Structure 1
Amino acid sequence: MGVVLACIPACSFRTADKVSCVDDTQCVTAFGAGAVCRADGFCEGGTAVNPDANTSSNEPWTFVSFPDFLNADIGDVSALTSAVNSTNAAHEAAIAKVLDALAAEHPDFVMVAGDLVNGHWYLDASGVQVFGPVSTRAQKAAAIDKAADLYYTQWKKRFEDRGLPVYAAVGDHDVGDNNWEANTDKAYLVADYKEAWARHFTVDDNGNALFENRPEGTPYEHTAYAVRHKNVLIVTVDVFRQDSPTQTIDSKTGSVRTEVAGEQLAWLDSVLAGAASDPEIDHVIVQGHVPVLVPVRQQNSSGMTMPGAETSAFWQTLQRNHADLYFAGEVHDMSTNNVGGVEQVVHGGIMGYAPSVNYLVGHVYPDRVELELKRAELVYPADTTRLWQAGSNRPRADYAIGPGGFTSAGTLVLDKSSGSTQYLNRTGYFIPLATSSEGLAVHLPFDEAAGSSVVVNHGTTGPANNGTVTGATFVAGKLGNAVSIDNLDRIAAGAAPLVGPVQRTTSVWINTGPGPGTGNGIRTIFTFGANMQNGTKWDVDIDELGKFELGISGARTDATSTVSLANSQWHHLAIVANANATIGTVTMYLDGEPYAFTTTMATTPINTKAGNLIIGHSANSLNFQQYNGLVDDLAIWGEPLTAAQIRALASFANESTLNYDAGELEVMFEGLRDKQDVQISGRLWRYQASGLTGTPGRVVVSGSDYSVNLDNGAGFVSP
């Protein structure tokens, strides 16, 4: 919804008593909760015309940001048809719980950076014609108008009922969803989509703009705008450039390109320059739908970003004019990064599709902005029935907000008290996403007690890869406790610790029997990355025959062994990849020994995208390739371990008098690199530079004496 709070210098703004109306709803849309339509046909009151709203204040105030809310068409269509409906009690209850959480933050307003709806309104996948026929372009345009009026009206009412003013941006689903091939009906309908969106968020019923500060005379004059609230300038941009529906301007997305350019960019530059010289503006926030800086985490998303990243004209404009924050959505997960003093915060979530949802809270002071991300798990039943939508991309019909509700997922302070901007006290998801982590990045021993809801990461990435437990239980394992996973269980352990074509080693102990049901189907033990394109995920699997496999999106290994590992015995699985590896060049190990495989896609490069680390199912989607069985001692290194080191992981764990896990072996590996003695669990291991014999990596036991050859005769002895 649009509210006019203030303009930067040299522009005028519309006040309530200058906006005509026919009912209270129009006034609430324009000026926030409490606005009414007077008998003379003009608006009065509302939170947006509070006398203090346009002036700086030393009193702290709060805002909330929630991109991609809802990213689904959730609304009652029973007045149009009895054949289907696009809402139900489960969806309305989940939405109410989220909005009640937002209202409990007591924000002055809520920002929503696009994808308010699903938006496939030019389709009729079920053939029920809820919004009319869609055979011709004109019919599709009429259906878009009808659907927009229904869904946007109900979407806004949920906020209005809670007194929550909204600043919205256009997302790809608000313009039909990517892609937009030139010379197609969909390309021509982009303008219809934007006009329908503007009718509900930036233009009143008389066609008057609700925001005076906008790129007038451009194609973006009703989808981009700037407004000042107290001591903050908020700028909303339309990142969906289309020059002509007949012109291809992007090889992927067709007639639409995700960028801010031309007249809109010039307007943005002017607005930001004016803010920089305005003493009443302490902070500047810009919102647009797609991330600019990469990599970013993602879940259930096509993952659109802005071409050029930090070198794009858009980012250079933000940087040159000292914008503070850029808020984006699209990818339905949380990531932050900072280039040139501008902080990108990617957040928000899709309801009814993804494993989790999140929002951002900001507390604003004259000299600082305190930010906090909050996240909640979404719980889905075994029933995979989908809720009706005009198109075939449909959310689950039944889901709920997890019993823990929203909890803190990270904090950041934007501090200007020293005269320069500093980004301080980063925690959780505000720690910028790294592309690689040397050493033992992730180590999840799973030694938590029964009933624990969190697993602790003992690797170098620390709490960023702690895991949230959903359904899984803790039982006796290979090394201490293990986690038992079945049915819809999972552990979400933060972001992918390794991104890109970087070197790595993954290691895990498993104990599983036949698969669920018939025993057929691939089961993913753990995964990180995202299922976007060839090579972008890292799924460690047991296949339908019980064999150990690696899947990387578009390519998969196939073990030459016929032995099934689904035999209710403990097995150690490891995979090693050098930098810039292909799936054909990885080395796989079973119980410490090389594990031969073939693949028909040997040259597919490994290029893991930012995503999540999940134990219990594949990167593709929630509970896809669901695992059942025990998992113990998961470890991920940002380096390729040697064959001897892999054998040591299995050998030391199997030696009953030692039972070393990956963390304890990492101490020994570091000692080998440093050529130093080490102490592990009270036992001294003396480094020996040469002369050790025996199979490399296999611990040799002689009475109470132990030795291990780790590198051509170099290794350790104890005592």
Structure 2
Amino acid sequence: MKRLKPMMNLFMIPFCIGILFCIDVHAADANQQADTESSESWTFCSIPDFLNFDIEYPQKGWEDALGFILDSMKKENPAFVMVAGDLVMGHWGPTKEDVNKWADLYYPQWSKRWADHKLKVYTALGDHEIGDNPWRGNKAKLVPHYKEAFRRHLKMPLNGPDHMKGTAFHWTHKNVLFVSVDVFETGKSKQGEIAAGVTGAQLKWFEGVLKNHRDQVDHIIVMGHTPVLRPVRTFSSSGMLMVQGPESAFWKTMVKYDVDLYLCGEVHAVTCKQQDGIIQVAHGGLLGRTDKPNYMLVTVKKDRLEVTLKEIDLINGKGSLWQQKKRKGPWDTITITDERKKQGFTAIGHVSIIKEDGKKSFESISGFFDEKNNPTE
């Protein structure tokens, strides 16, 4: 038997080689599949300040244009749409009962419009969702009731800090972490008893989310209603900004954890600014006032984010719609001509955020992402 062992080993060699070949083939197939999956792209859209007014659904004189805008985003095949605040007009006081009455009327209609177009939406809290700035006296006391109405109707994830469940939250989709912050914190500022920022318990929660996820994702994107970097363009806006700007602990935390994009609204105009490796994009809707609404398309890959801003021309009516406690509401009609529909949304800016060899670069810059024409004061 001792002599036979070498012979048996010789007979076993082809068999073992075959097994190893099969293992290598399957491993190669698995690696190829993993590479394919990691290179697959997906998209999402952003349109802050949609709609910024108390609008019914359907709204006479509006639905054709709104439908075209939503259908245009739908054709981008987004996993979801991000709305960085100001869904409604929100001038709903002076009592808790009044806040709930109007919230119960307008929020369900706002959400149904998106659902009917089969678009999933994540929305940050805007100043109009808490009564519109400034906040003093009784209006300041109503802020918790406004936030509760938002939480009840919008049903955002309840994974934020204890005092901001449903108004600050995070989610992951495939290879990206998304965080939405509630910038409307109790404090003293020019806006009264609210100081726009992310501090205290919310900041601690925010840093914890970034720390716990940074090694699990390829990209990090943060959404908040007010811009941090300044100056930015404004249109029909109070131009509210984060109180401490880029010197805030919030911005420094985003820098520390290598956030890629900060998406915001409030100013109803487009300004793209890059600082500390982060691009802040202020843009959005204000349908009913603007004549050039825009949305942003982001195509996500493992090693890059392709970011494109798109705009369309809108013709506003001559009358105005009634709004609670507002002397002049939005235009009574909004129209996109058939000729403009054929052309569709057109690109007004692009940037590629490339990540290779542990480094981040910004390439293929055009339009609003070219900062040479940005405001300087």
Structure 1 unaligned spans of 5+ = 1-55, 77-86, 123-136, 204-209, 244-248, 436-497, 501-719
Partner of 1:59: 40
Please identify the structure whose Cα radius of gyration is greater. Answer: 1
Q: Matched residue of 2:313: which SS?
A: strand
Aligned to 1:594: none
Q: Residue in 1 aligned with 2:369? A: 430
Partner SS for 2:140: helix
1:706 match: none
Moved more, 220-229 or 364-373: 220-229
Indicate the residue corresponding to 2:160 in structure 1. Answer: 214
The runs of at least 4 consecutive aligned structure 1 residues that moved more than 3 Å come to none
* Equivalent in 41, 56, 63 of residue 92 of structure 1: 63
TM-score normalised by L of structure 1: 0.46
Q: CA deviation at 1:115?
A: 0.2
Partner of 1:326: 262
For the residue of structure 2 that corresponds to 1:180, the secondary structure is coil
Change (3 A) 1:350 1:335: same
AA partner of residue 60 (structure 2): A
Q: How far off its partner does 1:417 sit? A: 2.7
Q: Structure 1 residue 434: deviation in Å?
A: 4.7
**Structure 1 match to 2:214:** 276
Cα deviation, 1:253-299, whole Å, max 9, x if unaligned, reads: 00011101000001111111122222xx0000000000100111121
- Structure 1 match to 2:353: 414
1:287 aligned to which of 216, 223, 234: 223
Aligned to 1:563: none
2:197 and 2:244 in contact (8 A); partners too: no
**How big is the shift at 1:142?**
1.1
| 3-state secondary structure, aligned to 1:415 | strand
In structure 2, what residue type is equivalent to 1:74?
A: I
Aligned partner (choices 379, 385, 391) of residue 325 of structure 2: 391
- AA aligned opposite 1:412: V
Query: Counterpart in 2 of 1:116?
Result: 87
The yes-or-no answer on 1:223 pairing with 2:167 is yes
Using the alignment, how far apart are the partners of 2:117 and 2:40 within structure 1?
23
CA contact (8 A) 1:226 1:235 kept: yes
Q: 1:234 aligns with which of 164, 168, 178?
A: 178
2:117 aligned to which of 125, 139, 162: 162
Given the alignment, which residue of 56, 61, 78 partners 1:75?
56
User: Which residue among 358, 362, 382 is the counterpart of 2:298?
Assistant: 362
Looking at structure 2, the residues matched to 344 and 406 of structure 1 have their Cα atoms a distance apart, in angstroms, of: 22
Q: 2:278 aligns with which of 332, 337, 342?
A: 342
Kindly provide the CA deviation profile for residues 135-175 of structure 1, in whole angstroms up to 9, marking residues without a partner as x.
xx5xx211211211221111111111122111110000011
Aligned residue for 2:235, secondary structure, equals: coil
**Partner of residue 265, structure 1:** 203
Count of residues paired in the alignment = 336
What is the distance in 1 between the residues matched to 2:117 and 2:108? 15
User: Could you say what secondary structure the match of 1:222 adopts?
Assistant: coil
Asked if residue 197 in structure 1 is aligned to residue 154 in structure 2, the reply is: no
Deviations 1:157-196, CA, capped at 9 Å, x for gaps: 1111122111110000011000001xx2111111111000
CA contact (8 A) 1:336 1:433 kept: no
1:328 positional shift: 0.3
Structure 2 counterpart SS, 1:361: strand
Q: In percent, how many aligned pairs have the same letter?
A: 43
Instruction: Name the aligned partner's letter for residue 139 of structure 2.
Output: K
- 2:98 is equivalent to residue 143 of structure 1: yes
Q: CA deviation at 1:411?
A: 0.6
> What secondary structure, in the 3-state scheme, does the structure 1 residue paired with 2:201 have?
helix
Structure 2 gaps of 5+ residues are 1-36
Is contact 1:333-1:358 (8 Å) kept?
Answer: no
Question: Aligned AA for 2:331?
Answer: R
Query: Which whole-Å deviations, capped at 9, do the CAs of 1:613-667 have from their partners, x for residues lacking one?
Result: xxxxxxxxxxxxxxxxxxxxxxxxxxxxxxxxxxxxxxxxxxxxxxxxxxxxxxx
Does residue 375 (structure 1) correspond to residue 311 (structure 2)? The answer is: yes
**What secondary structure is seen at the aligned counterpart in 2 of 1:426?**
strand
- Tell me which amino acid in the other structure corresponds to 1:283: H
The one-character-per-residue Cα deviations of 1:544-578 (angstroms, maximum 9, x if unpaired) are xxxxxxxxxxxxxxxxxxxxxxxxxxxxxxxxxxx
SS of match in other structure, 2:171: strand
Deviation digits for residues 688-709 of structure 1 (CA, Å, limit 9, x no counterpart)? xxxxxxxxxxxxxxxxxxxxxx
Tell me which of 133, 137, 153 is aligned to 2:108. Answer: 153
Higher helix share: 2
Equivalent runs, 1:238-257 vs 2, <5 Å: 238-242=182-186, 249-250=188-189, 252-257=190-195
> Structure 1 counterpart of 2:168, which letter?
A
Shift of residue 57, structure 1, vs aligned partner: 4.2
Question: In the TM superposition, what is the alpha-carbon distance from 1:58 to its structure 2 partner?
Answer: 3.0
Does the Cα contact within 8 Å between 1:113 and 1:169 map onto a contact in 2? Answer: yes
3-state secondary structure, aligned to 1:289: coil
- Cα deviation for residue 222 of structure 1 reads 2.2
User: Displacement of 1:89 after TM fit?
Assistant: 2.4
Using the TM superposition, give the Cα deviation of residue 305 of structure 1 relative to its aligned residue in structure 2, in angstroms: 0.8
Does 1 or 2 have the higher relative contact order (CA < 8 Å, sep 6+)? 2
